[in-house]
């Protein structure tokens, strides 16, 4: 119990005990042994008294957050071109930008901005889209490995509808490029795992989708993609795969919906109905709910409360650059606001999400994709973010629970002090 990933942190601790309950400790103790959380305590148990103790005083300590869906190559154009809906936005802004990652010098610089900022936000785990380019994706993985974050990264597959600059020649070329990428990275990384990444059905021929489904099975590789984000996209998929009963079934027909042991992540599911919900649940898939993106591209509001009640796996994604920021607190806030408007304007039988539920989705909900991740229960990986909220002046005595809610509604004043992933401190701020 003496290596540097065994220690005790002291501070204002908050974590989800269940989706409806946040447990807090004022000036409590949080114990990490060999990178694994041993629990949170009001009094430090005798057996941990010899571990080094770092006292964070009045600061908050919460579990690291999981960004279940983010596009690394889109980071540098976030916040512009937001008056479009999905398909126009992809063709006008996104595909021309991603085409630039053919140039490794461009990719290296742009990805350095992405990784630099990802280290400095609330995220400790992320599932990331790259581009279709081999070298640029290796560069992204190399940079992410350096950060100490734990991630899945995908070389994107697309063999149709990308225009002449962002498209692989055909299914065979795309599959070969994927195998080459997998062979190149084999055994190279500890914290950066590959994930198969068919962009979405409009970008991938039937043959390519089937090939990826097979590759996933052969190699036990997970898959990420997009599902039912936008109404024009949903209608297009119906034309492209006429034999499918719905968009989720189209993925199912190609064997890309995964299994509970090898779960697929589907971003969005804004327009998913009961039938799609059943398919997602049957396969143990994860929904990456991306409320900021869904607002920006006028996609709609996903009925997340219904999915939770049905027992579907859910986490949150920033979906940069359709989402304009990698700040998970902002994503939490928009998730809350969107669910309130869904209740008010769409369906009053679907109650708004509570703060407890959204805090859970950002931490334990998405964390589940990585295993025992996202809370401070014993046995979970020790991913923690220490936050200084002393700049949020108040006249009140605030509970820890109030302070974490306030931090979500006033994200600009929540400053990250330190960040730990699996017990390793991978970021420390000089500012606070
Ligand atoms: N669907 C296919 N590609 C994309 C993308 O890059 N962003 C979003 N939001 N949706 C997509
Ligand atoms: Fe996306």
User: Which of 160-164, 202-206, 335-339, 407-411 bottoms out in mean pLDDT, i.e. has the lowest?
Assistant: 407-411
In this structure, how many other beta carbons lie within 10 angstroms of the beta carbon of residue 142? 16
> CATH number for the domain including 405?
2.30.40.10
In short, whether 123's Cβ falls inside 6 Å of ligand 1 is no
- pLDDT at residue 66, rounded to an integer: 98
Domain contains 332: yes
Give dist(CA 32, CA 40) in Å, integer: 10
- pLDDT of residue 384 exceeding 50, the answer is yes
Write out pLDDT tens, residues 147-205.
Answer: 999 999 999 999 999 999 999 999 999 999 999 999 999 999 999 999 999 999 999 99
Pocket test for ligand 1, best of 89, 199, 288 (most atoms within 8 A of CB): 199
Domain contains 2: no
Closest ligand, as measured to the CA of 299:
1
Residue span of the structural domain in which 395 resides: 7-64+375-428
Closest ligand, as measured to the CA of 318:
2
- pLDDT at residue 1, rounded to an integer: 42
What pTM does this model have?
Answer: 0.98
In short, whether 226's Cβ falls inside 6 Å of ligand 1 is yes
Domain contains 181: yes
Domain contains 79: yes
Q: For residue 48, what pLDDT band results from cuts at 50, 70 and 90?
A: very high
The DSSP H or E segment spanning 147 is: helix 134-147
Are 294 and 198 in the same domain? yes
In short, whether 90's Cβ falls inside 6 Å of ligand 1 is yes
Are 219 and 178 in the same domain? yes
- pLDDT of residue 2 exceeding 50, the answer is no
| Domain total of the chain | 2
Q: For residue 96, what pLDDT band results from cuts at 50, 70 and 90?
A: very high
Pocket test for ligand 1, best of 84, 297, 322 (most atoms within 8 A of CB): 322
Are 420 and 322 in the same domain? no
Are 110 and 257 in the same domain? yes
- pLDDT at residue 3, rounded to an integer: 57
Q: Which residues contact 309 (CB under 8 A, 6 or more apart)?
A: none
- pLDDT of residue 413 exceeding 90, the answer is no
DSSP code for 245:
S
Write out pLDDT tens, residues 282-292.
Answer: 999 999 999 99
3-state helix, strand, coil in the chain (%, to 5): 40, 25, 35
Give dist(CA 136, CA 153) in Å, integer: 12
Compute the distance from residue 90 Cα to the ligand 1 centre, in Å.
Answer: 7
- pLDDT of residue 227 exceeding 70, the answer is yes
In short, whether 414's Cβ falls inside 6 Å of ligand 1 is no
- pLDDT at residue 412, rounded to an integer: 81
- pLDDT of residue 311 exceeding 60, the answer is yes
In short, whether 128's Cβ falls inside 6 Å of ligand 1 is no
Domain contains 80: yes
Are 42 and 95 in the same domain? no
Compute the distance from residue 156 Cα to the ligand 2 centre, in Å.
Answer: 11
What number is the average pLDDT over the span 262-277? 98
In short, whether 94's Cβ falls inside 6 Å of ligand 1 is yes
What are the DSSP calls for 53-111, one per residue? EEEEEEEEEEEPEEEEEEEGGGGGGTTSSTTS-HHHHIIIIIHHHHHGGGSHHHHHHHH
Compute the distance from residue 128 Cα to the ligand 2 centre, in Å.
Answer: 9
């Amino acid at each position: 119990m003496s290596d540097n990933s065994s220690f005790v942190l002291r501070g204002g601790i908050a974590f989800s005990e269940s989706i409806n309950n946040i447990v807090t400790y004022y000036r409590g103790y949080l114990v990490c042994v060999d990178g694994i959380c041993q629990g949170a305590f009001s009094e430090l148990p005798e057996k941990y008294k010899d571990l080094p103790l770092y006292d964070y005083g009045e600061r908050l300590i919460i579990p690291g957050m999981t960004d279940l869906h983010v596009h690394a190559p889109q980071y540098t154009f976030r916040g512009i071109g937001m008056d479009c809906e999905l398909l126009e936005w992809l063709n006008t802004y996104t595909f021309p930008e991603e085409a630039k990652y053919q140039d490794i010098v461009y990719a290296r610089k742009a990805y350095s901005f992405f990784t630099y900022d990802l280290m400095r936000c609330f995220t400790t785990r992320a599932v990331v889209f790259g581009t279709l380019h081999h070298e640029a994706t290796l560069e992204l993985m190399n940079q992410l490995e350096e950060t100490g974050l734990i991630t899945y990264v995908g070389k994107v597959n697309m063999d149709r509808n990308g225009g002449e600059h962002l498209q692989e020649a055909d299914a065979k070329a795309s599959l070969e490029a994927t195998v080459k990428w997998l062979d190149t990275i084999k055994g190279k990384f500890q914290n950066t795992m590959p994930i198969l990444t068919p962009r979405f059905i409009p970008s991938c021929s039937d043959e390519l989708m089937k090939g990826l489904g097979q590759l996933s099975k052969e190699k036990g590789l997970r898959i990420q993609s997009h599902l039912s984000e936008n109404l024009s996209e949903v209608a297009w998929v119906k034309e492209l795969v006429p034999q499918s009963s719905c968009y989720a079934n189209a993925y199912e027909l190609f064997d890309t919906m995964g299994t509970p042991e090898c779960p697929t992540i589907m971003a969005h599911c804004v327009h998913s109905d009961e039938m799609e919900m059943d398919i997602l649940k049957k396969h143990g898939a994860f929904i990456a709910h991306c409320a900021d993106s869904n607002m920006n591209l006028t996609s709609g509001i996903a009925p997340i409360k219904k999915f939770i009640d049905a027992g579907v796996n859910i986490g949150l994604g920033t979906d940069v650059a359709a989402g304009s920021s990698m700040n998970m607190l902002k994503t939490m806030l928009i998730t809350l606001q969107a669910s309130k408007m869904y209740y008010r304007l769409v369906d009053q039988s679907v109650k708004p999400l509570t703060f407890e539920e959204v805090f859970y989705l950002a931490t334990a909900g998405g964390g589940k994709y990585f295993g025992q991740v996202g809370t401070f229960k014993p046995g979970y990986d020790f991913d923690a973010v220490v936050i200084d909220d002393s700049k949020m002046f108040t006249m009140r005595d605030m509970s820890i629970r109030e302070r974490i809610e306030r931090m979500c509604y006033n994200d600009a004043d929540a400053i990250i002090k330190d960040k730990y992933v699996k017990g390793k401190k991978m970021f420390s701020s000089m500012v606070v």
